[in-house]
């Protein structure tokens, strides 16, 4: 294994890249809950960067920082051009997606299927490093099952043992990248939807723990079904950082304790009312600009997850906003939701 020691420290907590979730509005909302966690963009393909509206794709509010730009691509040349173009945006790092199992992504030779092509991934990472001085990181799986989707000349099609993953990382670590975020579940490239593949097959945290133990000089982040502060605390005994996906969306208030994992003095004493007050000026700003306030409000629907007031909050902030402006409804929520959940810290 390459002995490169990154000078970049791994954030204790990061919020996973999620298409249709981690857009700039959701990231702004999250910053009202955790100031320290590393946030990721949604996956953006190199093709989109090369052919799309760059400002629309890449602009963000500096309040979202630290922020990682996640790119998906399939060739070193294309990814080089895309990272070069994105380099003038002030992202804190650039991340390569080697984890997405969806048919559309695999069909374009991007995402998790790339685990079957370690040399290509290495070249892509080298290309990224050449295109930017920012840290370059990768998000991949513990393995893949490419049966029925990988071409005949690729063997093995099932990469599912610990030593397979070591071999993969050994090859790509020649590019001296700064962090490996490992989703501790095999990606099944055919026969399961991405949604099903987030529950099946069973998660294998032990592989990731062992990996950190065997290669302590590498920065290792663990991902997969991590839901609570207790889960986070436990994982941090074994790895450098924890990446949280769905739980950040399904129970965002859980993240109020995230910053204390960075600095115990930062125990966030924050209530749902504080978070709503953080969102309110953003809603008003959208309204003043004639934009749809639901761009951010839809991301806050689960703020009262499993608590009193959840139904009322959802009703108040859901469109259509005909008779009362969305911002007025948010203000009404601050007056009318149960105080015990609104001000609970
Ligand atoms: C709606 C949704 C969209 C996702 N989009 C991406 C993506 O763009 N890039 C990526 O690397 N992973 C993506 N993922 C996978 C997550 O980043 C994460 O690896 C996965 O959800 C497992 O973490 P969790 O169990 O904490 O949710 C997505 C997951 C979800 C639920």
Residues in contact with 55: Cβ distance below 8 Å, sequence separation at least 6, in sequence order: none
pLDDT value of residue 14:
98
Tell whether 313 and 241 lie within a shared domain: no
Tell whether 37 and 130 lie within a shared domain: yes
Would you say residue 329 lies in a domain? yes
Tell whether 213 and 284 lie within a shared domain: no
Q: Which residues line ligand 1 (CB under 6 A)?
A: 16-21, 42-43, 70, 97, 99-100, 139, 183, 198, 223-226, 244-247
The yes-or-no verdict on residue 268 having pLDDT over 80 is no
CATH of the domain at 290: 1.20.120.1460
> How far apart, in Å, do the first and last CA atoms of the chain sit?
46
Domain that holds residue 332: 272-342
pLDDT value of residue 266:
86
292-321 pLDDT tens trace: 999 999 999 999 999 999 999 999 999 998
Long-range CB contacts for residues 158-161, cutoff 8 Å, separation at least 24: 159/115, 159/116, 160/186
Binding residue per annotation — 217?
A: no
271-293 pLDDT tens trace: 999 999 999 999 999 999 999 99
Look at ligand 1, atom 21, and give the residue with the nearest C-alpha: 245
Tell whether 53 and 119 lie within a shared domain: yes
Binding residue per annotation — 256?
A: no
Instruction: Quote the number of domains for the chain.
Output: 2
User: Which of 225 and 345 is assigned the larger pLDDT?
Assistant: 225
C-alpha gyration radius of the chain: 21
Tell whether 40 and 176 lie within a shared domain: yes
CATH of the domain at 148: 3.20.20.70
Secondary structure (3-state) at 79:
helix
Tell whether 242 and 320 lie within a shared domain: no
Would you say residue 3 lies in a domain? no
64-108 pLDDT tens trace: 999 999 999 999 999 999 999 999 999 999 999 999 998 888 878
pLDDT value of residue 322:
85
Tell whether 244 and 185 lie within a shared domain: yes
Tell whether 238 and 329 lie within a shared domain: no
14-52 pLDDT tens trace: 999 999 999 999 999 999 999 999 999 999 999 999 999
Would you say residue 157 lies in a domain? yes
200-245 pLDDT tens trace: 999 999 999 999 999 999 999 999 999 999 999 999 999 999 999 9
Tell whether 276 and 247 lie within a shared domain: no
146-182 pLDDT tens trace: 998 899 888 889 989 999 999 999 999 999 999 999 9
Would you say residue 263 lies in a domain? no
pLDDT value of residue 59:
98
237 membership: H or E segment, kind and range: none
Would you say residue 267 lies in a domain? no
236 membership: H or E segment, kind and range: none
Catalytic residues: 100
Tell whether 172 and 240 lie within a shared domain: yes
Using the 3D structure, point to which of 225, 256, 287 is the last residue of a domain.
256
């Amino acid at each position: 294994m390459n002995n490169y020691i990154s000078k970049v420290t791994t954030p204790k907590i990061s919020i996973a890249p999620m298409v249709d979730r981690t857009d700039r509005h959701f990231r702004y909302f999250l910053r009202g809950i955790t100031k320290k966690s590393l946030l990721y963009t949604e996956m953006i393909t190199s093709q989109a960067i090369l052919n799309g509206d760059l400002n629309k794709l890449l602009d963000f509010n500096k309040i979202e920082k630290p922020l990682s730009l996640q790119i998906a691509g399939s060739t070193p040349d294309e990814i080089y051009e895309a990272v070069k173009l994105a380099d003038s945006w002030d992202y804190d790092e650039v991340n390569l997606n080697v984890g997405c199992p969806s048919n559309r992504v695999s069909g374009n030779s991007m995402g998790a299927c790339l685990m079957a092509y370690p040399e290509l991934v290495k070249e892509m990472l080298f290309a990224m490093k050449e295109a930017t001085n920012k840290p370059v990181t990768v998000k991949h799986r513990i393995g893949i099952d490419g049966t029925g989707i990988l071409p005949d000349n690729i063997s093995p099609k099932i990469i599912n043992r610990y030593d397979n993953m070591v071999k993969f990382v050994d090859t790509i670590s020649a590019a001296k990248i700064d962090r490996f975020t490992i989703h501790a579940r095999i990606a099944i490239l055919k026969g399961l939807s991405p949604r099903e593949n987030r529950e099946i097959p069973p998660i294998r945290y032990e592989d990731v723990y062992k990996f950190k133990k065997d290669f302590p000089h590498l920065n290792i982040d663990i991902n997969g079904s991590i839901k609570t502060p207790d889960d986070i605390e436990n994982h941090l005994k074994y790895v450098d950082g924890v990446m949280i996906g769905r739980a950040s969306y399904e129970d965002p208030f859980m993240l109020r304790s995230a910053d204390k994992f960075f600095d115990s003095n930062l125990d966030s004493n924050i209530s749902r009312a504080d978070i709503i007050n953080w969102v309110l000026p953003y809603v008003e700003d959208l309204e003043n600009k004639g934009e749809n306030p639901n761009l951010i409000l839809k991301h806050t629907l689960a703020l009262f997850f499993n608590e009193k007031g959840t139904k009322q909050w959802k009703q108040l902030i859901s469109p259509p906003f005909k008779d009362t402006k969305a911002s007025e409804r948010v203000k009404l929520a601050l007056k009318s939701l149960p105080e015990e959940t609104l001000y609970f810290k």
